[in-house]
Structure 1
């Protein structure tokens, strides 16, 4: 009785130990995820402060230039246009970060014979260019508030606006100019110095806010004045109006938080993609603008894979704890041996199914990748390429919108896939007239179309759209080591024929109604891929460094070459392999167990069931059935490695040999207590736990 109690105590202690280990792992996993999230948030807060400091420095630059200009004009009276224009040109050259500087005189204040005079120097291709605003429009009309407000209110930051003369969104500091003399308070002109917000895009794209994160600038009135999606800027989008139109309560919380003119943060769901986002905001001093940092709370690939492994460890610890608990209750409640073994086997089988589900669900984890899920990500990538080109003194890249639609996919062999569909490109008239029309497929085996020719050409006011039909064979190395629970990515890498001239393909996002990868943009919604199910599709950019210049000297200066890739993720249908391969193996394992059950002796100590020769004949028959099925499986898989499902065959081979040996030893060796104990009961009880336990070990090895 004492030994029994001690053993029960040990079993209970081990159960508590493994359950505690699982609890600790859960705590560690949750804590690590929280730490990773907090690290992302801390980095976003730091980047928000850095952006505000950068923009404030640009603002201070304009104010310094304005003070200098006021001082110069108050000291000297400029009556000669050439002298004043030379001053503006010189000031522009001395301040290369400034976009424009100008002076707009009140009627007849510069010259009694000239009604309006407004010289303005702006930058074109990095060089100062002089223009006359009065020749473009009459700036004294009431609608041009940049001229009238400083005369009423004094020096001020204007609400950013689209400048007709500058042809860009301007952040402008305006101030009244008075006649010569320190005490002269008679306004004769309005001075303006401005900074194009377009020039900030390079800096904003460099912010470390993750692959999908981005920066936004709101004006004092709540209008979007800088955003990776230029349409929001061009359409004068107001954040509060947008929130009310969409009845978005979370965005209204952001609007109210921004209205307090204090630093803060708000969690919300982004309307365009439905992704959970965290928005940090901070006021930019002097201007009244607000800078927003938008980050998406998604794990990195490494963190997601680590989480997957931790979930497997947690489930294994819980399984082991439950196994010890069942043995403990077996001794305490006096369960039968077969009851205990059945429950233990079902627990192990349940753990295998849990790991299978974790493997199936792994594809649903979103990573921080270069997936082009919306216009924001695309614009950010384009800004990075422009900055990269400037850094390496290359030509500014050309971007050609390109679309793709997959009509049909057929897997010809394990590595070759036949894909057919349509392609199109949009070329801007004038700018792209010298470019060749066409697309190059990268890393394909062959083109099956007789001719790759344009199907249609559509002309509108400023664009030419060319479309093609294609049918190609994509050859990608693919080893389905997790068969039948595997997924694969099909990549279509596209490149422009003039890629050596800096031409880059970008996805034509406007051509798709939905961009959510789960909605399969660019794929036939009724597509049927035998044996597979389409999961998601998306565009992304893939970079490659070549160890050659292709005979062009300028290639040596290129840091990388970017290809547009259309990716289709597919998952193998489980039912087909389950019926074809798993059910026969389950039947063989049950028949093998039945043979094992028939080995025994009756009350008169005589052998019952099969004889030794019959056992050998039966196990040999099962072995040949398995070996034929295994050979057919290897012939169809074309994989030079051991696939997950193959381990089932290996385990059954071992089980067949062990059952045959057990039967022979039971018949011939009466002195082996382990075999002879209670009519060979121990091998019978251990058959399923050992077989399923070995299968669990293999499953963990492949999916961990």
Structure 2
């Protein structure tokens, strides 16, 4: 027959089993919903881009059909043909030019070839027949003409550099038939400016890391934020840059879909692609998963809940099994030991999650740069933002940094020594001089910036400086020693009103992915930290707040380049200097407290004054260690590790009071005198550890 006590244990075990099952289901549902939501966001973004691009292409196709209808419907004079090409080119923003090219003697019996080409950028008509013979089908540059002519159907070309338009273009060509002709009389070619198309796509991509592009079925890049990629870089190379090199064939062979994969440092990413109707092109959008899913804080909270639920369930099972033992004293000590071990395991889980998954998340306004594509996307989006405000676009200037050495001078000041270089455009040298500024420079510190070289190139001059500067960093020590201590170096151009935007010199590094740690001497010795990675980013700063000047009329959010050194704190020093002394003192106090007895025949116990004096001695030991910690950190806020000291102070005071009450009390209090203060003794470790667990939970998962 199960007694009432065991029934109670079984009841709570069932309750905690249900809670654990609910928490596990909640995590499973959260992961599925999170995944589903991310796919929905990515698909919606892809559909948005698809619709916009399809609308642009449909306008081009409709314009081509309209030109064809006019050309085929009546005999036009040369002036009318030229006027038609000019009007069509000007009517559509994304068209760079329009050509109406006739077959030999198709225009009239006296005209060998006639192909007016109106270039909107140059604002003039170019007669292609005077430049070259576009009817020669062996010339690769004439594919725009012979492709539609031979297929006798409209078609889009792969991207190429237009010799007449002198820009990167793609042609939509369609043959036309004059009255009485059974074979094509010529080709109407509508030339699309791919740079404009790429800028449009980039403005449509959502999120801080979203990158959009178009590629053809042959693997050629049609539109990309970096226009140079269209001719010089293949889809395979871009996919390798984005971490998609193993999935190129899938994207080329399938009509549409999405791919989830891992990028650097195990970070997940999503790629969404789909075919554009009526065109042999596909749209591709790539996102970092954090851009769609947000950070992992909520996920960690759910994992901690599961851990707590399973721990409570296990504890109820332990209580049920221990309840079968006859010795009450042994039961209480068993409960104390198991409860302490369970609580310690929960603390260790929370430490593990924060130690391994809480680094370099960045701020809400921080945009990370890991390749040329993401850099070009960011610059384009910022230029689009300032253009809408009626301000001048930013002038990007490639700037690089190499950190040779750095050290923490105190809790908030870091000294950096290294080199900074800047590729200053020659056309900009007429108005501004090359220069750098560190806005985090500490007051009163000696900053040394010496120019060591100037190397002239075709389009820019590379200026190189040696730098030694002390920077003040806003480190947050509230979670010390499980805090994030990333050194984020801000570099900007001294004159904010110039419009000069310093950007990472992507070409100056072999790789700027964080795991390759670009721009730092990897042999730097750090006694209490481990180098994880380095990375570039931009932080949008409100200069009205930064300058403290309400009359400042510039951008409210100005992008500043950041170079981040991501560090992981080594726990050995903290363990030796702080955690181990606290554990040792807590253990010694417990042993002294455990040995107190009223049994006059027991000579091994400790007297009341001995216990109080020992507590006072241990208090000063911890106080000295605590003062040393405050001296090293000098932080205005209370740190996580300090709460361990504070709880020990409180426990030492309470135990001293308990010892005095136990030894001086004449009444036979059941709480104090049961088995020589056994209840308080068995509660010591569980209550102390539970207090630490509760503090950990509140600080890390509030």
Give the TM-score normalised by structure 2: 0.89
Partner of 2:20: 22
Q: Flag the 1:279–1:315 CA change in 2: closer, same or farther, 3 A.
A: same
Q: Is the 8 A contact 1:155 1:173 kept in 2?
A: no
1:118 to partner: Cα distance:
3.0
1:235 to partner: Cα distance:
2.5
Structure 1 residue 404 corresponds to structure 2 residue 401:
yes
**2:344 aligns to what SS in structure 1?**
helix
Q: Please list every run of 5 or more consecutive structure 2 residues that lacks an aligned counterpart in the other structure.
A: none
Partner of 1:668: 664
- Report the Cα distance in structure 2 between the residues aligned to 1:614 and 1:265, rounded to whole angstroms: 72
- Report the Cα distance in structure 1 between the residues aligned to 2:220 and 2:355, rounded to whole angstroms: 44
Partner of 2:647: 651
Structure 1 residue 616 corresponds to structure 2 residue 612:
yes
1:183 to partner: Cα distance:
3.1
Q: Is the 8 A contact 1:447 1:472 kept in 2?
A: no
- Report the Cα distance in structure 2 between the residues aligned to 1:383 and 1:614, rounded to whole angstroms: 74
Q: Flag the 1:114–1:392 CA change in 2: closer, same or farther, 3 A.
A: farther
1:144-543 alignment to 2 at 5 Å?
144-162=142-160, 163-179=162-178, 182-185=179-182, 187-235=184-232, 237=234, 250-258=247-255, 263-268=256-261, 276-298=268-290, 303-334=295-326, 336-337=330-331, 338-363=333-358, 370-430=367-427, 433-445=430-442, 451-543=448-540
Q: Is the 8 A contact 2:340 2:686 kept in 1?
A: yes
- Report the Cα distance in structure 1 between the residues aligned to 2:470 and 2:246, rounded to whole angstroms: 49
Q: Flag the 1:674–1:378 CA change in 2: closer, same or farther, 3 A.
A: same
Partner of 2:43: 45
Q: Flag the 1:627–1:24 CA change in 2: closer, same or farther, 3 A.
A: same
1:45 to partner: Cα distance:
1.9
Q: Flag the 1:427–1:140 CA change in 2: closer, same or farther, 3 A.
A: farther
Q: Flag the 1:642–1:436 CA change in 2: closer, same or farther, 3 A.
A: same
**2:638 aligns to what SS in structure 1?**
coil
Q: Flag the 1:101–1:553 CA change in 2: closer, same or farther, 3 A.
A: farther
- Report the Cα distance in structure 2 between the residues aligned to 1:573 and 1:111, rounded to whole angstroms: 85
1:212 to partner: Cα distance:
2.3
- Report the Cα distance in structure 1 between the residues aligned to 2:271 and 2:686, rounded to whole angstroms: 52
Q: Flag the 1:663–1:447 CA change in 2: closer, same or farther, 3 A.
A: closer
Q: Is the 8 A contact 2:159 2:230 kept in 1?
A: no
- Report the Cα distance in structure 1 between the residues aligned to 2:662 and 2:238, rounded to whole angstroms: 85
- Report the Cα distance in structure 2 between the residues aligned to 1:512 and 1:473, rounded to whole angstroms: 25
Q: Flag the 1:284–1:275 CA change in 2: closer, same or farther, 3 A.
A: same
Q: Please list every run of 5 or more consecutive structure 1 residues that lacks an aligned counterpart in the other structure.
A: none
Q: Is the 8 A contact 2:236 2:245 kept in 1?
A: no
**1:474 aligns to what SS in structure 2?**
strand
Q: Is the 8 A contact 1:612 1:664 kept in 2?
A: yes
Partner of 2:116: 119
Query: C-alpha deviations, 1:306-328, integer Å up to 9, x for none?
Result: 11222222222222222222222
Q: Is the 8 A contact 2:156 2:280 kept in 1?
A: no
**1:206 aligns to what SS in structure 2?**
helix
Query: C-alpha deviations, 1:642-666, integer Å up to 9, x for none?
Result: 2111122222212222222222222
Q: Flag the 1:457–1:444 CA change in 2: closer, same or farther, 3 A.
A: same
Deviates more, 1:564-573 or 1:104-113: 104-113
- Report the Cα distance in structure 2 between the residues aligned to 1:83 and 1:431, rounded to whole angstroms: 44
Q: Is the 8 A contact 2:541 2:559 kept in 1?
A: yes
- Report the Cα distance in structure 1 between the residues aligned to 2:500 and 2:71, rounded to whole angstroms: 47
Q: Is the 8 A contact 2:593 2:681 kept in 1?
A: yes
Structure 1 residue 684 corresponds to structure 2 residue 681:
yes
**1:442 aligns to what SS in structure 2?**
coil
Q: Flag the 1:5–1:479 CA change in 2: closer, same or farther, 3 A.
A: same
What is the aligned residue count?
A: 688
1:76 to partner: Cα distance:
5.0
- Report the Cα distance in structure 1 between the residues aligned to 2:501 and 2:322, rounded to whole angstroms: 69
Q: Is the 8 A contact 2:543 2:555 kept in 1?
A: no
- Report the Cα distance in structure 2 between the residues aligned to 1:489 and 1:360, rounded to whole angstroms: 14
Query: C-alpha deviations, 1:351-385, integer Å up to 9, x for none?
Result: 11111111102225868961101222112112212
Q: Is the 8 A contact 1:394 1:557 kept in 2?
A: no
- Report the Cα distance in structure 2 between the residues aligned to 1:450 and 1:354, rounded to whole angstroms: 44
- Report the Cα distance in structure 2 between the residues aligned to 1:516 and 1:443, rounded to whole angstroms: 25
Q: Flag the 1:558–1:580 CA change in 2: closer, same or farther, 3 A.
A: closer
Deviates more, 1:212-221 or 1:532-541: 212-221
Partner of 1:64: 62
- Report the Cα distance in structure 2 between the residues aligned to 1:703 and 1:102, rounded to whole angstroms: 66
Q: Is the 8 A contact 2:211 2:287 kept in 1?
A: yes
Give the TM-score normalised by structure 1: 0.89
1:447 to partner: Cα distance:
8.8
2:86 pairs, out of 78, 86, 89, with 89
1:296 to partner: Cα distance:
3.6
**CA RMSD across the alignment:** 3.2
1:135 to partner: Cα distance:
5.2
Query: C-alpha deviations, 1:589-637, integer Å up to 9, x for none?
Result: 12111211221133x6678623333232222222222222222222222
1:620-631 alignment to 2 at 5 Å?
620-631=616-627
- Report the Cα distance in structure 2 between the residues aligned to 1:418 and 1:365, rounded to whole angstroms: 20
2:10 pairs, out of 6, 9, 12, with 12
Q: Flag the 1:620–1:44 CA change in 2: closer, same or farther, 3 A.
A: closer
**1:28 aligns to what SS in structure 2?**
helix
Partner of 1:140: 135
